[in-house]
Amino acid sequence: MYKLARELLFSLSPETSHELSIDLIGAGGRLGLNRLLNKAPASLPVKVMGLEFPNPVGLAAGLDKNGDAIDGFAQLGFGFVEIGTVTPRPQPGNPKPRLFRLPEAEAIINRMGFNNLGVDHLLARVRAAKFDGVLGINIGKNFDTPVERAVDDYLICLEKVYAHASYITVNVSSPNTPGLRSLQFGDSLKQLLEALRVRQDSLAALHGKRVPLAIKIAPDMSDEETALVAQALLESGMDAVIATNTTLGREGVEGLPFGNETGGLSGAPVRDRSTHTVKVLAGELGGRLPIIAVGGITEGRHAAEKIAAGASLVQVYSGFIYKGPALIREAVDAIAALPRV
């Protein structure tokens, strides 16, 4: 069934099909129909960040930027759903076209630029959702906020979403917002993490609960840079790291139509680079901080590879677009088949 749906959707422009898919998944969720589209994955509970996940396969941020289809995605069998990236104020994102399929490589290039309707709209959608499972909210900065004041935007979003999120992801690794990736390094990273942790503590006291913070990083750092980030995360007391965002590299798409478009590359070509980053992080963190792996999971065995590399949870995005809901169950089954340590 999904192959037919994909053929129809792929006949439309990528952004049009994306918007239509969100509308359809959202409508299916409101009607309770999405459970009929996919056989529920096996129960494979895991506890990470102090949260109970029914299975370790989640939806990555970026598909449902505004939280318009939370119930719909949850009904497909995801163990957790992450929405966003959301910014304090609505913004249109970069000029179109800004989303490109590379089906020969099971890849996508995007330069969306955090297009979203703002944090207040997202919160209205969260309040309207019936989903009571693990919900991540991914936060970022507005494109016109100077990078030296980026912490202000993150703190605005953190305060607003705190009471409504199971965990919060801080996106400092999108390649499509100028200057954003500089926040992953040195004093900029340490200052951001310190500000987030201080505000997290005050919000925990205010709301009577501690909502974990995860930092999402890029796959384009050297091993030495990744190690420095890992150390900074440990020193600041962050709760998890998500590895990885899209890559600026073009390995695996050379010569393909749209392969030279600017933006972040996701899907199968980023798989090995992402898994390598997970391995480096795992070696540096030594189990002291959980890793959520995302990047290039287009088959169940790729999810198992991420877990074997040191991740506790995985997320899918581009693989879901190419393979559909069946990928969720396939990934859960592959992880369940891994030898128990």
Q: Which helix (H) or strand (E) holds 318?
A: helix 318-323
Report pLDDT for 36.
87
Report the distance separating Cα 137 and Cα 232, nearest Å: 22
DSSP 11-76: TS-HHHHHHHHHHHHHHHHHHT-GGGTSPPPPP--EEETTEEESSSEEEPTTSSTTSTTHHHHHTT
Report pLDDT for 340.
83
C-alpha distance from residue 201 to each of 152, 160, 175, 301, 332 (Å):
17, 15, 30, 39, 34
- Kindly state the tokens that stand for 248: 């600026």
Report pLDDT for 206.
98
Report pLDDT for 38.
84
Q: Please name which of 335, 251, 253 lies closest in space to residue 299, comparing C-alpha atoms.
A: 335
pTM assigned to the model: 0.98
Is 174 part of the annotated catalytic residue set?
yes
β-pairing, 99-102 vs 107-110, is: antiparallel
User: Per-residue pLDDT for the chain (341 aa), expressed as one digit of tens each?
Assistant: 799 999 999 999 999 999 999 999 999 999 999 998 888 999 999 999 999 999 999 999 999 999 999 999 999 999 999 999 999 999 999 999 999 999 999 999 999 999 999 999 999 999 999 999 999 999 999 999 999 999 999 999 999 999 999 999 999 999 999 999 999 999 999 999 999 999 999 999 999 999 999 999 999 999 999 999 999 999 999 999 999 999 999 999 999 999 999 999 999 999 999 999 999 999 999 999 999 999 999 999 999 999 999 999 999 999 999 999 999 999 999 999 999 86
Catalytic residue among 17, 21, 174, 312: 174
Please report, in angstroms and rounded to a whole number, the separation of the first and last CA atoms in the chain.
Answer: 37
Report pLDDT for 1.
79
User: Assign residue 77 a region: left if phi > 0, alpha if psi is -120 to 50, beta otherwise?
Assistant: left
CB of 260 within 8 A of CB of 315? no
- Kindly state the tokens that stand for 163: 């009471």
Helices 186-207, 150-161: axis angle to 10 degrees equals 20
